[in-house]
Chains A and B, each alone.
Chain A
Amino acid sequence: MNVNQSIPPVPPFGQPQPVYPGYHQSSYSGQSGSTAPAIPYGAYNGPVPAYQQTPPQGISRALPSSGAPPASTAQAACGQVAYGQFGQGDVQNGPSSTVQMQRLPGSQPFGSPLAPVGSQPAVLQPYGPPPTSTQVTAQLAGMQISGAVAPAPPSSGLGYGPPTSLASASGSFPNSGLYGSYPQGQASPISQAQGHPGIQTPQQSALSQASSFTPPASGGPRLPSMTGPLLPGQDFGGPSVSQPNHVSSPPPQALPPGTQMTGSLGPPPPMHSPQQPGYQPQQNGSFGSARGPQPNYGSPYPAAPTFGSQPGPPQPLPPKRLDPDAIPSPIQVIEDDRNNRGTEPFVTGVRGQVPPLVTTNFLVKDQGNASPRYIRCTSYNIPCTSDMAKQAQVPLAAVIKPLARLPPDEASPYVVDHGESGPLRCNRCKAYMCPFMQFIEGGRRFQCCFCSCINDVPPQYFQHLDHTGKRVDAYDRPELSLGSYEFLATVDYCKNNKFPSPPAFIFMIDVSYNAIRTGLVRLLCEELKSLLDFLPREGGAEESAIRVGFVTYNKVLHFYNVKSSLAQPQMMVVSDVADMFVPLLDGFLVNVSESRAVITSLLDQIPEMFADTRETETVFVPVIQAGMEALKAAECAGKLFLFHTSLPIAEAPGKLKNRDDRKLINTDKEKTLFQPQTGAYQTLAKECVAQGCCIDLFLFPNQYVDVATLSVVPQLTGGSVYKYACFQVENDQERFLSDLRRDVQKVVGFDAVMRVRTSTGIRAVDFFGAFYMSNTTDVELAGLDGDKTVTVEFKHDDRLNEESGALLQCALLYTSCAGQRRLRIHNLALNCCTQLADLYRNCETDTLINYMAKFAYRGVLNSPVKAVRDTLITQCAQILACYRKNCASPSSTGQLILPECMKLLPVYLNCVLKSDVLQPGAEVTTDDRAYVRQLVTSMDVAETNVFFYPRLLPLTKSPIESTTEPPAVRASEERLSNGDIYLLENGLNLFLWVGASVQQGVVQSLFSVSSFSQITSGLSVLPVLDNPLSKKVRGLIDSLRAQRSRYMKLIVVKQEDKLEMLFKHFLVEDKSLSGGASYVDFLCHMHKEIRQLLS
């Protein structure tokens, strides 16, 4: 860490600056070219000299732009560069990686990375030779410098003030650019016009300031250059209008890619428009910088706060300089961890050990602590005092997945039976026997490791101690030697003091017009016939103990009697939806094998019976109520599988209105979109939880269905929600069936209660996930499967002891799918520290992000989204600032220094900030947001990791023979080569992106068509072809799908196709259409925030 940090600011300084201007110019010029903004940027043009290097870029870009379709061009500009790089790419990667490698050890002052700016070839070229570590450092230094220069206000001013305003602008801008349509453009111009005059001056002044701050080189050149360019910009005329935008919105700047071109080339304007679309990504980077200055100046640094709200804006000048390759790369970090830690098994015996990343394949050996598959913590070293914790602002949280599935080579927890007396527990705090309990007095007593209470050992459990004070039988007893194990529960742990009966599954099928029309009902019934053979069973059981029942509904409910003795199923209609009840007891829930014939007959008849239904209205709450009542009547827990198509508008409890209103976005009322419409759903959910009735909801909406409200019950009962918008059997069949199969087959625990006990000193205070809590300590889950995760936050309520560390014990009481009542115990020991450095050394960013995302996603229920974003940014800045202040070796304040463990925090946090929930794009529906919101709530670390930072895999780079997954590349358009094919996945979506100049042979062998243009855009299935490439790609897709808990539908996207927009949404390092900042911009912004805090 120290290494880089220490880099001498000065020398780099000079260098970076030149670089800087160049970028600025490019960006500005672009703007100017495209729109008025040119003026401010014009200044940059001035810097031309720096550009000299850039010009080439520009040129190269220009060419492509002209040659290739506009859309790509924008990116192309970058892209080309990128491509160019790629071409060299491999080469480049080499160096870059090495650079990074170097950093790693150094740990990171990433400040410099900012400066390095340019992934762009230009930069490279100039530095061409330099890509060595030194160069990096130099660049870094530059970054720092800028920061440093700024020393206080100015620097910040530069970066941030503007960003805010810019951000919005940029946000709009990109859209216009991309889409070809210029709505934004129109909008922006106006705003620009308004803002412009005032702004400019400030900008200038700002610039001057900046200049003053920074060494003359930067300042000097800029001003002049600025002016110079201004003129041209003005010439553009049109653009002038846009300038005002800058003030409020930087969009015009966004154009920059083009501008860059223009700047250098001169001719920009024409180029511009075409290029715009493509350029965005790059632009963002550049824009940021450009904007940065202006706004900043205009408004004194209030920027920071605004920033939070405005995602995109930030990128002050610094970003321009940043070399994307020099800033921390998630890909690199993942790769390194894989290489370093993937080979050795992870042995859990040592306290406070940070496990390998979730992206690494590793084997776990349980030697007393729970596997990271069950529990991951944000930090494995907990501050001893709450003061320290407050200072660091690092959330202390554990992400617990109590029923996590294990790889085949790891043993599932042993089941321990303590006989009639039940599991041995501490008398005071009720913690369960675990390896950390201390046996004393020759084994006659034990001291609780959580509350220190001394308990007698019951005679039947007595055992002598060996010379080390360990029980002689420690290794014979899982509860004394392992981190995770299960106890058989006694009848005291059962509801009503009765052992539970085996659970039941009830399938509740919407048979309204919509469901019939789309073919859903027929498909589902057909599938259920075979699926029922695969109900979860326990251990080696011959057949599942689970009973099944069937209900169909539209605005009334139809129950089916499928008793084995019947020749035909009987249908019972309940139309009293206002006061739901279960019309039959015997014959509703049946054993599949006994009633096979009747069930088959029923599933055959359902699609026929409703084939010509005209009923379009549906109910919802009564359906769940019915299922719950059925379980209640049968006195068992269970799960409802609900297949639902439309907003429940029929007259019944829980009737909903269409309240979707996009106008609420970005207002204080936005939160209402995430809140349920009525309290009926919550009330119902509570009843369900009390009954142990878990709901899995499959939605097939054609329009708004109010996911926010409908998902309340699944959410609170530990269920899952699946959504298939505009379901068509032909297109979505595979995805739905695959999800359904998996959902039905997965092992579930029912009627569960989870409690987390901790050592004295910390306490579990907050919980996130899909569950219900009726008090402050017990997490109640009607159902819990291996995919569901509960995130628990801890707070200090006393001092912790560095010696004894901090212990967590998570106890989950549940009913297995065979109806057995069990307790699953996970123990984890953490270290405690008195030095902040220890804390920062033992953090896990992925987990941190998991926590922060869940925290933010819950926050949107109660606060304006803007406030939530601000909170996140502030917290992140505080964490990093604290590190900078207390742990980093002294260095220029302008230097951005990140702790090694958290160097990805900014990039990941940025991904969270620009996610659909926190910053929706125009095409994101309210339902989508609500859906994602609830989905993230119960994601584990691996899922959030890939969800927020998608994996982008190049397909043709690695040798065709290699069987391993190709190394991923960073999620940025710059990284895409138009001669390659990429897979992108985030756990929910899967894209196959095809570059425009992919070799014909590749196209042929993958798609079986002769040219790029013949590939069907939006294709969701690859043809099955007998050639190595096709097999490999399809194999890869299958293996990706196998890794995720939900089936990812493939979408083939062609470069420069209209679908590409969708794809680009997932290139999270780039500026997003909805205004999300690019990685570089955000890093700059972060840097600024930190400096602000430090000063």
Chain B
Amino acid sequence: MATYLEFIQQNEERDGVRFSWNVWPSSRLEATRMVVPLACLLTPLKERPDLPPVQYEPVLCSRPTCKAVLNPLCQVDYRAKLWACNFCFQRNQFPPAYGGISEVNQPAELMPQFSTIEYMIQRGAQSPLIFLYVVDTCLEEDDLQALKESLQMSLSLLPPDALVGLITFGRMVQVHELSCEGISKSYVFRGTKDLTAKQIQDMLGLTKPATPMQQARPAQPQEHPSVSSRFLQPVHKIDMNLTDLLGELQRDPWPVTQGKRPLRSTGVALSIAVGLLEGTFPNTGARIMLFTGGPPTQGPGMVVGDELKIPIRSWHDIEKDNARFMKKATKHYEMLANRTAANGHCIDIYACALDQTGLLEMKCCANLTGGYMVMGDSFNTSLFKQTFQRIFTKDFNGDFRMAFGATLDVKTSRELKIAGAIGPCVSLNVKGPCVSENELGVGGTSQWKICGLDPTSTLGIYFEVVNQHNAPIPQGGRGAIQFVTRYQHSSTQRRIRVTTIARNWADAQTQLRHIEAAFDQEAAAVLMARLGVFRAESEEGPDVLRWLDRQLIRLCQKFGQYNKEDPASFRLSDSFSLYPQFMFHLRRSPFLQVFNNSPDESSYYRHHFARQDLTQSLIMIQPILYSYSFHGPPEPVLLDSSSILADRILLMDTFFQIVIYLGETIAQWRKAGYQDMPEYENFKHLLQAPLDDAQEILQARFPMPRYINTEHGGSQARFLLSKVNPSQTHNNHYAWGQC
């Protein structure tokens, strides 16, 4: 087993890929009997400090329907300067530049260690990154102040040549012109009226050459420096201007009478932002960053009316079909999201309010475009401030950890077909021979668009084995999959990352052991969870749970060792041992349980679950619990109420929250002030240890988790108590099943 674990880990590090099965069942029938589908988690832009991009373009298979990239799995005839595509078996000539190729003089892409390789494309003009701030002004004064400061601060973090724009909204939507001297100009739109992209562009004067500010409409986005210059300006040019402008931002001046919500035109504001970029910079890396402090209350996309006495929809309302605006609003935002995705832009949503802000309706904006979704209580919290700051962190090369407008192209060898993908992507609807008719997630295509990517963005990609049982694969045959990700790097270069992997086929009847041993239960748990969450978006919660249960049962049936009628005899091999536990926690997780969560929270959790990598996803499914005591170094303990002990400090990481919990005794000690007495310095250290560890997690986590420091009996201890397996409760002091 160790070998498989290493193999898996090595593969993940090199290719950013984790498969549920690392040895593939060789026929469709067998594959379906495996219960867990053949699938993988792909992190397309996994950071590879050791992998410098090559400065040339990939060599493509000449068959128009294939276009696979030359890779280490291809057979090469060095003498004839030919290579055979390992997906379609087309024989291709090497391009002239490869004239000097030989066994000893191989290009990087033919070397096995370059199963993942990144090409840098020199062609094409580079266009600067675009950041369009869409700012809600219906905020409390201090909230707005904090947000303004964050925005002003962000200007210093942006690449100097990036274009930046500002749209503010409240009852009206204002698009600010940034290039003006003296008087500050803005274009104002009514917050209640849905406008088409064409209208928006007309009204902003972007379509006609009539006004002196701009020349003819740019055919290529790159040539229009002047076109949108009024609204999108290089940071270095209008740094001061924009800082002032932000500084002068006032709360929405329209009066809000008692018992009313402020009128907030989020739907129109977003629509204008999308329209603006659509008209001026299609297919260029751009981020629309929406900062909102409450639900949209008017116009298209409104989520709740302005009467405070009518609360915003809850899950209960939704189940009762009582959410008046939900369908319409969702439709509006979906339309926007699709348009944005089509243009290769992405939308981030930063929603900070104590109540819901309509994330349920707006979620698609972030989900479909690969944008971020951040939910907080106030802009005046470190949660928001640091999260926002973290967006602009840089990698080891000094580049921003973001990429834009990516397309992911998946190619499979013929025994496989692509069933779908789940993640922050939209389908490009590219049908092909390797596209399965059975859809899992977003299917029916072999290409997806991911408008916003970062090094941790991870997609679940599902495959179907189509090889018929009666057409055995030759012994030693391998199935291959190639992932081609074309994207705009944050340095504005176009890049292509190609990952080609191969796995062995095995006959499930004869080689079940092999297959079993090559099961990656972590990946499988996450992949199954993604499927479940994906279903939960459209199906009733209980149905999803039943489905998950059934899958688990079938899996156990297939791979468990047991004697009938004897529960105690049940055994699962090591490679499956954790899987049921994951499923157990998954069932209780906020991704599938909506109880006690608002629709917004559910949307928020699901959003992150669908884009984080395997490790983070696992944390989300099954939070990590560490126990600190005088008895030894911190140790992971079961996420179970039995782990809550009086003389322990617990550190729980649920991804969204970090809880430090002091056991009853510890809390008393601290209260008594022992930590301040020199003779109890070790106690002080004990108290400090989880804090340090928490800091470590906080440093790396995006978005910033909610940091909770509590103790036995504290009100916030609920965060811990709600997560642990309630094996011991107030009416049951013994471990579950032991009474």
Contact = CB atoms under 8 A, between A and B. Distances in A.
Interface of A: 556, 558-559, 566, 568-576, 579, 581, 583-587, 601-602, 605, 609, 612-615
Contacts of A566: 248
Contact of A585 (B174, B177, B254): B254
Contacts of A614: 210-212
A803 B521 CA distance: 114
Interface stretch (B7-15, B198-206, B660-668): B198-206
18 contacts: A568-B183, A570-B183, A570-B186, A571-B183, A571-B184, A571-B185, A571-B186, A572-B185, A572-B186, A572-B188, A575-B204, A576-B193, A583-B172, A585-B253, A585-B254, A601-B183, A605-B182, A609-B183
A556 B203 contact: yes
B190 interface: yes
A494 B179 CA distance: 47
A576 B211 contact: no
Nearest to B254: A585
Contacts of A571: 183-186
B195 interface: yes
B680 to A, nearest CB: 57
Chain B CB within 10 Å, residue with most, of A559, A583, A605: A583
Interface string B145-175: 0000000000000000000000000001010
B182 A581 contact: no
A573 B190 contact: no
Interface string B226-257: 00000000000000000000001000011100
A566 B183 CA distance: 10
A418 to B, nearest CB: 35
A613 B212 CA distance: 7
B683 to A, nearest CB: 56
A583 B253 contact: no
A1048 to B, nearest CB: 38
Nearest to A574: B188
A579 B193 contact: yes
A581 B186 CA distance: 15
Contact of A575 (B187, B210, B212, B253): B187
Nearest to B199: A576
A615 B210 contact: yes
Q: Which 8 A-B pairs have the closest CB atoms?
A: A575-B203, A583-B188, A586-B253, A573-B187, A571-B185, A572-B188, A581-B190, A570-B184
A575 B205 contact: yes
Contacts of A584: 172, 188, 253
A586 B203 CA distance: 24
Contacts of B182: 568, 601, 605
Q: Which of A579, A601, A602 has the most CB of B within 10 A?
A: A579
B195 A576 contact: yes
A631 to B, nearest CB: 16
A602 B184 CA distance: 11
A805 to B, nearest CB: 55
Contacts of B202: 575
A612 B212 contact: yes
A579 B186 contact: no
Contacts, number: 70
B189 interface: yes
Given A556-B203, A585-B254, A614-B212, A579 B190 contact: yes
Given A573-B177, A581-B172, A612-B212, 14 more contacts: A568-B184, A570-B184, A571-B184, A573-B187, A574-B189, A576-B190, A576-B195, A576-B199, A585-B255, A587-B253, A601-B182, A613-B212, A614-B212, A615-B210
B212 A573 contact: no
Contacts of B184: 568, 570-571
B185 A573 contact: yes
Contacts of B172: 581, 583-584
Interface string B512-546: 00000000000000000000000000000000000
A609 B180 CA distance: 9
Contacts of B205: 556, 575
A566 B245 CA distance: 12
A586 B172 CA distance: 13
A273 to B, nearest CB: 54
A573 B188 contact: yes
A573 B190 CA distance: 11
A547 to B, nearest CB: 16
Contacts of B255: 585
Nearest to A587: B253
B211 A615 contact: yes
Chain B CB within 10 A, most for which of A558, A576, A605, A612: A576
A627 to B, nearest CB: 16
B179 to A, nearest CB: 12
A1054 to B, nearest CB: 45
Contact of A583 (B174, B210, B212, B248): B174
A859 to B, nearest CB: 43
A376 B25 CA distance: 108
A581 B191 CA distance: 10
Given A556-B203, A585-B254, A605 B183 contact: yes
A528 B248 CA distance: 27
A559 B186 CA distance: 10
Contacts of B190: 576, 579, 581
A77 B523 CA distance: 116
A556 B189 CA distance: 12
A378 B186 CA distance: 57
A579 B193 CA distance: 9
B439 to A, nearest CB: 42
B187 A572 contact: yes
A644 B48 CA distance: 65
A585 B188 CA distance: 13
Contacts of A572: 174, 185-188
A660 B684 CA distance: 94
A587 B253 CA distance: 9
Contacts of A568: 182-184
Contact of A602 (B177, B183, B199): B183
A571 B172 CA distance: 14
Contacts of A615: 210-211
B248 to A, nearest CB: 8
* Best-buried of A574, A602, A605, A612 by chain B (most CB within 10 Å): A574
A583 B193 CA distance: 13
Specify which of B188, B199, B212, B254 lies most central, judged by the most chain A CB atoms within 10 Å of its CB.
B188
Contacts of A558: 185
Contacts of B177: 573
Nearest to B193: A579
Interface string B197-227: 0010011110000111000000000000000
Contacts of A612: 212
Interface in B110-166: none
Contacts of B174: 572, 583
Contact of A576 (B183, B189, B210): B189
A566 B195 CA distance: 31
Nearest to A617: B210
A579 B186 CA distance: 18
Contacts of B204: 575
A583 B253 CA distance: 10
B205 to A, nearest CB: 7
B264 to A, nearest CB: 16
A439 B462 CA distance: 101
A547 B186 CA distance: 23
Nearest to B204: A575
A498 to B, nearest CB: 16
A602 B182 CA distance: 9
B227 to A, nearest CB: 16
A1008 to B, nearest CB: 45
B191 to A, nearest CB: 9
B265 to A, nearest CB: 12
A556 B204 CA distance: 10
A11 to B, nearest CB: 81
Contacts of B254: 585
Contacts of A569: 183
